[in-house]
Amino acid sequence: MLLQNITIWVIAVLFMVTGGVSAATEEITVFGPTSSSDWKSVVPLTKKFEEETGIKVNLEGGADAKQALMTAFAGGSTRYDAFLYFPADTDMEDAGYVIPLDGSFDPKLKIPDEIIQDVFPGFVEYLTYKGHFWAWPYSTDTTLLVYRSDLLEEAGFSTPPQTWEELLQFAQKVTADKDGDGIIDIWGYSYFFRPGAGTGESTTSFRQFLWTNGGKYLDEEGKPAFDSKEGIEALQFLLDLRDKYKVSPLNVAQLGEDDVESLFLAGKIASMLGFPKTAGRVTKPDHPLHGKVAVAPHPYKIKPASRLSGGAWYIPKSSQKKELAFQYIQFLTNADSTRFMHKMGLDWSPRMSFFNDPVLRQEVPERAEFLEIYGKALRNAIPEPRFKGKGQADVALSRALDRAATGVDTPEQALKNAAREILRIIRMNR
């Protein structure tokens, strides 16, 4: 009887020490934008991470990732250990909801210097704020000229347009009313100018032409600078493409990037300000435009430039499992995972070595030229400006652009008014 009691006691002690039959499984919870192409690769890569490490990852997400996360953090939630985010402002940093990953918060949570040095300079600038580097770069997006290569050849051009002047020449040559009914059947070029502060709306198109005309959005003191001579010229040229030269759709001020892409894929537009994903939509051999779509760095007047943004992995300050989250992020951004991400969703790493990866080029040789072009565009890419109140500022700029597009204000009046309003917003948020 005594032996039996001792045995039961030993078993009970072992149960309490080990937490049961086996040690508890380590576990983290990760949030992300489930509607993004990036999430298509996150799901299978997470499963692979679980298999290799034994760490369980709970994936959660939604379409409006920022709103969901800001609400959770404001309520004191400690649920999330990492999240994939496409930052358009500095709200997360300003609210103190995330930690920098440069070792200043915790030396163990430091992205290696060799990785930072491998990231395109524009993307490093994009994730740097108040002297700190805040997130692990994951995917990048930049504007390009997407064009019909067959129409380019038919129009007698041997290379895609490199300057505004060449873009106009090409657009004028291919804009056509093919059946003589007085309605244009194919427009030479289109941008997107729908009022709004999102990626595929008027503010993106304006900044693209501002930067390629040598202008700046903010000056060195952080004040609006887009109402300069360069900015006014850029906006005037955009409107002239529609009104004076008549090579862009008459309703371009109502078109978002998704609308323009649909028209392009339907054969109604010969070239467009766009993103890599458009070319990726025609890769299947049975697509009517298969083999007829190409990309190039977007034409410029003063200097090459493109608009840059992208996705990055953040770690919340409230997480109780920061080191596990850091391990997870390291796995999702290693070379093998990055190749998988690209092949899975045609997403692009912001690391320079990715574009020269011999393994990737061997696995997808048909994308070698695309890698060269996209890498070239990223070298000249300018990050979307991020500052406190950026969302309000973009709304103000969008309203001003719409007033110019509808003829209420001249380009100069519109931009001067917007600059004054955005300066007020910046000062109010300091």
199 band by pLDDT with thresholds 50, 70 and 90: low
- Please write down the long-range contacts of 258-266, taking CB distance under 8 Å and 24 or more positions apart: 258/200, 259/192, 259/194, 260/190, 260/191, 260/192, 263/187, 263/190, 264/146, 264/190, 265/289
Q: Which residue's structure tokens are 């390009």?
A: 144
203 band by pLDDT with thresholds 50, 70 and 90: very high
State pTM to two decimals. Answer: 0.90
Task: Return the pLDDT at 21.
Answer: 38
Whether the pLDDT of residue 239 is over 80: the answer is yes
What type of residue is 175?
Answer: T
- Measured over the CA atoms of residue 286, residue 288, residue 289 and residue 291, the dihedral's sign is positive
Contacts of 153 (CB under 8 A, 6+ apart): none
Per-residue pLDDT tens digits for 65-84 = 888 999 999 999 999 999 99
Residues 87, 121 contacting (CB under 8 angstroms): no
Per-residue pLDDT tens digits for 41-61 = 999 999 999 999 999 999 999
Residues 401, 202 contacting (CB under 8 angstroms): yes
In angstroms, rounded to a whole number, what is the distance separating the alpha carbons of residues 96 and 112?
A: 23
Average pLDDT, the chain: 92
pLDDT above 90 covers a percentage of the chain that reads: 81
Task: Return the pLDDT at 24.
Answer: 57
Task: Return the pLDDT at 276.
Answer: 85
- Spell out the domains of the chain, with CATH numbers in brackets: 12-134+308-379 (3.40.190.10), 144-305+387-428 (3.40.190.10)
Task: Return the pLDDT at 36.
Answer: 86
DSSP assignment of 215-260, as one string? --SB-TTS-B-TTSHHHHHHHHHHHHHHHTS--S-TTGGG--HHHH
